[in-house]
């Protein structure tokens, strides 16, 4: 999944070489392994890392001594060292007794350097585990020998597989609590290996561990004479770190900043995602235009001078031989083997939001260095992490995993996640709060992405509007059931029709007799209901009509979607503001009474929320305005907008 310092924090912010000294200063090698520790709550992740650092003295001595002293001061029990406090987070986290973020630590052996992400085990912090795994090359998954493989353990293994981590160590911890039983260890190792195989993870090693006593962390223990495999440190020192596909594949350079300090210097700053970029290379700019835009790499610039080439992972500034329109988020790719460009994909999704993923709702997706509009179809299935069974789903709830077709507003350069973590993944953001609510991994592009194109027509909206004698517009009436939306909309159309304006009403009840008769009243169905109507209304605006839409439309996000489908000045939101008590008192259809008796579920205002507009074009207080006066106010507002 994509990760940027602004979103997740960089390792340097969490305790890495920037704070502890560079490898050169301590005589350590350049080879680097990023790994994650994960598992269920209280499986002993922080204790394992703390004891590993303490027993091996791997962390630079000055910092280790300070951490040990701090651990004894804060958490020591009768002088006993609390190893978890060597790597746990802030004091507030210590007071709560849990880790609530990803704690990054840096250490080194004579062979390689390590960055370890200690992630929380609680289900509500699954997003933190995903963050840590997104950059990891290996994973250490802990299981409590007294508890066995729990749901969260299985979820973490599934996420590790989805995020492309291919090397996994199972640390069967707290083996001292079961008498260092070989049978318990082997049973858990076999069960875990079977699950990993189903998830196509082939490189799995199991180690019997008692982290609090340091058993099999740095050296083999006499407590497990029957075990002859590697220690945890042995495994960490030997696990492969190379990404041959990224290192040897075609060049990919992500533009993160257009750098132009002077008229003579136009550079594109970013990172080499794959391959090696060399001066003189022919590159293609993606997504580009209808015709391929290509140029040649003229210079590769760094603070220390120009380079002849930049390998994968290197951050540089690239100058091209030609003046081209290159923007943030574009990709410079090897011209002979560029990635594809598409706007619709099948993707695996991890939903992280407190609110469920609603098909058809508009979100944002951050892919590479670009943020674009995002929608999702109804999931094809969700994965039950205990059994790996594919279960039907209309939505995805927090911490659920599923597969769905997703759509972006614009085409982007991509590669399947199995080929490129950077170009094959994205995070999903809430449009209103900008909070991260999901993560996705691209499987493949949908055929419609390449085959469906917008057909340019001779007669367009301006010509139709000129023929009609007025500008087109969507007049969107929203409010509670019984507020008077349909009544006012009908009076507005009557007045406009009498004045010779071309109009049409889309009424909520009428549309559910045909176009939307397959939809119910769950949140997911309500979102789809409004999505369809918003698209129809947009087409009617293209026809040059004034279309009046009368729907409860309870969610701001969907009303905002409808607004964004037409041009500025072509949308008039009318809030028919009627208090719940007044609307319920009218109850022309008897729906409130049914809802109060529990006979009608998901009824807006009773057991389903209504989000009132924050800045409507016009607010109608129906406690003080008659329907005729309310309709007159809407017509006057349309005149002020220049529609009529």
CA 597 – CA 572 distance, rounded (Å): 36
- Cβ-based neighbour number of residue 90 at 10 Å: 12
Would you say 218 and 48 are in contact if contact means Cβ atoms under 8 Å apart?
Answer: no
Where would I find the beta strands (DSSP E) of 321-449?
A: 331-334, 340-351, 363-367, 370-376, 381-384, 389-391, 401-414, 425-429, 436-445
The count of C-alpha atoms lying within 13 angstroms of the C-alpha of 373, restricted to the half-sphere facing its C-beta, is 10
CA 605 – CA 595 distance, rounded (Å): 10
Spell out the residues 6+ positions from residue 48 whose beta carbon is closer than 8 angstroms to its own.
Answer: 37, 140, 142, 171, 173, 209, 211, 217, 232
CA 607 – CA 589 distance, rounded (Å): 18
- Cβ-based neighbour number of residue 483 at 10 Å: 26
Where would I find the beta strands (DSSP E) of 103-137?
A: 103-108, 113-118
Would you say 413 and 426 are in contact if contact means Cβ atoms under 8 Å apart?
Answer: no
CA 239 – CA 201 distance, rounded (Å): 14
End-to-end CA distance of the chain: 49
Catalytic residue among 161, 425, 538, 553: 553
Query: Residues 272, 275, 280, 283: is their CA dihedral positive or negative?
Result: negative
CA 112 – CA 621 distance, rounded (Å): 70
Would you say 497 and 503 are in contact if contact means Cβ atoms under 8 Å apart?
Answer: yes
CA 288 – CA 192 distance, rounded (Å): 46
Angle at 453 between CA 451 and CA 458, to 5 degrees: 145
Would you say 623 and 578 are in contact if contact means Cβ atoms under 8 Å apart?
Answer: yes
Report how far Cα 466 is from the mean position of its chain's Cα atoms: 44
Element (H, E) at 632: helix 627-640
Residue 553: active-site member: yes
Would you say 363 and 437 are in contact if contact means Cβ atoms under 8 Å apart?
Answer: yes
- In Å, how far are 180, 189, 210, 220 from 184, measured between CA atoms? 8, 9, 13, 18
3-state helix, strand, coil in the chain (%, to 5): 30, 30, 40
Would you say 438 and 537 are in contact if contact means Cβ atoms under 8 Å apart?
Answer: no
- Measured in degrees and rounded to the nearest 5, phi and psi for residue 297 equal -70, 115
Could you list the active site residues? 553
């Amino acid at each position: 999944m994509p990760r940027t310092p602004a979103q997740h924090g960089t390792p340097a912010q969490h305790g890495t070489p920037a704070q502890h000294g560079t490898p050169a200063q301590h005589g350590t090698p350049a080879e680097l392994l990023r790994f994650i520790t994960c598992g269920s709550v209280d499986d002993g992740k922080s204790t394992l890392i703390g004891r590993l650092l303490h027993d091996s003295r791997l962390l630079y001595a000055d910092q280790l001594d300070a951490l040990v002293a701090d651990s004894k001061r804060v958490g020591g029990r009768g002088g006993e060292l609390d190893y978890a406090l060597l790597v746990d987070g802030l004091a507030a986290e210590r007071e709560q007794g849990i880790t609530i973020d990803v704690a990054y630590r840096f250490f080194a052996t004579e062979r390689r350097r390590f960055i370890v992400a200690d992630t929380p085990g609680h289900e509500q912090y699954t997003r933190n585990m995903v963050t840590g795994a997104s950059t990891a090359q290996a994973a250490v998954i802990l299981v409590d020998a007294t508890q066995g493989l729990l749901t969260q353990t299985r979820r973490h293994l599934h996420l590790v597989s989805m995020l492309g981590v291919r090397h996994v160590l199972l640390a069967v911890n707290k083996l001292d609590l079961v008498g260092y039983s070989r049978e318990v260890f082997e049973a858990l190792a076999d069960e875990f290996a079977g699950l990993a195989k189903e998830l196509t993870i082939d490189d799995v090693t199991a180690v019997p561990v008692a982290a609090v006593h340091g058993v099999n962390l740095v050296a083999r223990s006499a407590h497990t004479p029957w075990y002859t495999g590697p220690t945890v440190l042995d495994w960490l020192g030997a696990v492969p770190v190379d990404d041959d596909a990224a290192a040897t594949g075609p060049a990919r350079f992500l533009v993160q900043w257009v750098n132009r300090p002077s008229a003579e210097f136009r550079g594109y700053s970013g990172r080499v995602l794959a391959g090696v970029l060399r001066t003189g290379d022919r590159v293609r700019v993606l997504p580009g235009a209808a015709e391929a835009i290509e140029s040649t790499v003229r210079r590769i610039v760094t603070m220390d001078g120009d380079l002849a080439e930049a390998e994968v992972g290197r951050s540089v500034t690239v100058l091209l031989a030609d003046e081209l329109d290159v923007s943030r988020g574009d990709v410079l790719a090897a011209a002979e083997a560029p990635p594809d460009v598409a706007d619709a994909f099948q993707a695996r999704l991890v939903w992280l939001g407190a609110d469920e993923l609603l098909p058809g709702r508009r979100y944002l997706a951050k892919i590479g260095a670009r943020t674009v509009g995002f929608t999702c179809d109804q999931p094809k299935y969700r994965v039950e992490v205990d059994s790996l069974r594919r279960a039907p789903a209309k939505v995805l709830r927090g911490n659920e995993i599923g597969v769905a077709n997703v759509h972006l507003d614009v085409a982007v350069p991509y590669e399947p996640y199995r080929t490129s973590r950077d170009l094959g993944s994205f995070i999903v953001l809430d449009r209103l709060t900008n909070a991260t609510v999901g993560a996705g991994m691209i499987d493949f592009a949908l055929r419609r992405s390449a085959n469906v194109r917008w057909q340019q027509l001779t007669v367009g909206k301006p010509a139709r509007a000129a023929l009609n004698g007025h500008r087109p517009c969507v007049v969107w009436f929203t409010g509670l059931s019984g507020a008077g939306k349909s009544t006012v909309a009908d009076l507005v159309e009557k007045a406009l029709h009498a004045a010779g304006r071309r109009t049409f009403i889309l009424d909520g009840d009428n549309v559910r007799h045909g176009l939307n008769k397959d939809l119910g009243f769950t949140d997911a169905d309500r979102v789809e209901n409004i999505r369809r109507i918003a698209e129809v209304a947009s087409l009617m605006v293209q026809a040059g009509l004034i279309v009046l839409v009368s729907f409860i439309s309870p969610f701001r996000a969907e009303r905002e979607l409808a607004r964004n489908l037409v041009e500025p000045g072509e949308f008039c939101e009318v809030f028919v503001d009627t208090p719940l008590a007044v609307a319920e008192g009218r109850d022309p259809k008897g729906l409130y009474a049914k809802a109060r008796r529990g006979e009608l579920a998901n009824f807006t205002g009773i057991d389903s929320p209504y989000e009132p507009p924050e800045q409507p074009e016009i607010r109608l207080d129906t406690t003080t305005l008659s329907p005729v006066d309310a309709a007159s106010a809407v017509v006057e507002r349309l005149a002020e907008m220049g529609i009529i």
